[in-house]
Amino acid sequence: MFNLPAGTRSLLLINVAVFLLQLSGGSGALVTYFALWPVGTAAFEPWQLLTYGFLHGSVLHLFSNMLALVMFGGDVERVWGRNRFLTYYFVCVLSAGLTQSLVNYLTGSFVETIGASGGVFGLLLAFGMMYPRRMILLIFPPIPMPAWLFVTLYGVFELYAGVTGAMGDVAHFAHLGGMLGGYLLIRYGRARRR
């Protein structure tokens, strides 16, 4: 953790600090004002399209997102630098929030969305595009695979889970929205440099 670049470390510490605030009894107010509520409800505010990415529902939720942030974010930030990395991360959080808001609107859902997963899935995509041949060893099942394959399979799983409603309390389309926003930003950056 102490060798993490500044942007990755800052995101990690802020997410942990906000979760500690949630645990200290402020969860209700934090969720009320900063979770992403469906557009058109009285609870929705524009800032929630970013702030929801700092709230988490459980220790496991926080741990899995922060583990992925540490595993993939540091390498991405070392290549891009802090400012580009943070811009990319927050674009992914925003695109994930917009995607989930659209899905909520189309399905009539009134459930709030929380978690850093949209930004983390964007980082996962960036990592896979930067280091496509780097091997990743999964915890379960313990199978090594190249990053490009891992990212592709994870994206396909998220699409399947979102369409079928598997694991219904997970915002699968937010994950896909984070990946989509990240992909579009990377493509835009490459076209601009040409």
Could you tell me if residue 162 is inside a domain? yes
116, 15 Cβ separation under 8 angstroms? yes
Could you tell me if residue 93 is inside a domain? yes
Helix and strand numbers, DSSP H then E, in the chain:
9, 2
| Mean pLDDT of the region 44-67 | 96
- How many domains would you assign to the chain? 1
Question: pTM of the predicted model, to two decimals?
Answer: 0.93
Could you tell me if residue 151 is inside a domain? yes
| Mean pLDDT of the region 134-144 | 85
Could you tell me if residue 1 is inside a domain? no
Could you tell me if residue 89 is inside a domain? yes
pLDDT tens readout for residues 59-111: 999 999 999 999 999 999 999 999 999 999 999 999 999 999 999 999 988 89
The domain that holds 33 is classified in CATH as 1.20.1540.10
pLDDT (0 to 100) of residue 95: 98
pLDDT (0 to 100) of residue 1: 52
Give, as one character, the DSSP assignment of residue 22: I
Print the domain residue range for 80. 6-193
Q: Which contacts (CB < 8 Å, 24+ apart) does range 59-67 have? A: 59/19, 61/115, 62/15, 62/16, 62/19, 65/15, 65/115, 65/116, 65/117, 65/120, 66/12, 66/15, 66/16, 66/116
